[in-house]
Amino acid sequence: MINFLFEAVSLKRLKRTGWQVLGGGNEESVAEHSYMVAVISFLLADQMGADVKKTLIMALFHDLTEARIGDVHKLADLYVKTDEKLAEKDAFGSVGKIGKELMDICAEYRNKKTIESKIVHDADVLALCIELKSLFERDDHHAKEWFDANGKRLVLEESKNILQELKEADSQDWWKKEREMIHKNYRK
């Protein structure tokens, strides 16, 4: 089990490579991305009445194989072929019976047929779009292009609604009331 944990922790050090192709501006790790995918997946699964436990497990482990195959960005996908199933088998094989369950859940994720797998796929896209939103708010027009293109990948109406809210939102509004209080206190 300890080797599995060391493998999982390596995702904290593994940077998502698409940001480099986009021109920098973000240093997100695979683990940071997976956390946001899990948060979004949890909210969508609860809202949609899906199996929350399965959805969270799927979200948590959907990118674990990147510890072995790396984070292959979309441009590299045109040229590089990876064996994700073999990477899953080798990674999850070290944790016994639960490893088989994790492989089954990851296979379900890849098939994109169940509500849980659709939720996690959409959450994966939404997590990216949230990062892109903060970049194009700072006038990165390339981030806006990728935001728009990735938004078209969403399949669930609930996810499309979140994307629409995201388009209209300001990434700093979550603490707007508190900022106003802080500014008011400065004037005292």
pLDDT in tens, 123-141: 999 999 999 999 989 888 8
Residue 29 CA to residue 79 CA, distance in Å, equals: 23
Residue spans of the domains in the chain: they are 2-186
Domain 2-186 sits in CATH 1.10.3210.10 = yes
Percent of the chain residues past pLDDT 90, beyond the cut: 77
**Residue 27's pLDDT band (cuts 50, 70, 90):** confident
Contact 156, 119 (CB under 8 A): yes
- Residue 31: the pLDDT is 95
Map tokens 């369950």 to a residue. 101
* Terminal Cα distance for the chain, rounded: 56
Contact 167, 148 (CB under 8 A): no
pLDDT tier at 179 (50, 70, 90 boundaries)?
A: very high
H or E element that contains 111: helix 97-111
Q: Residue 173's CB: how many other CB atoms inside 10 A?
A: 9
Least confident of 69-73, 107-111, 156-160: 69-73
Q: Report the sign of the C-alpha dihedral through residues 125, 130, 132, 133, in that order.
A: positive
Which residue do the tokens 């209080």 mark? 181
Taking alpha carbons only, the member of 115, 112, 108 closest to residue 48 is: 115
pLDDT at 181: 93
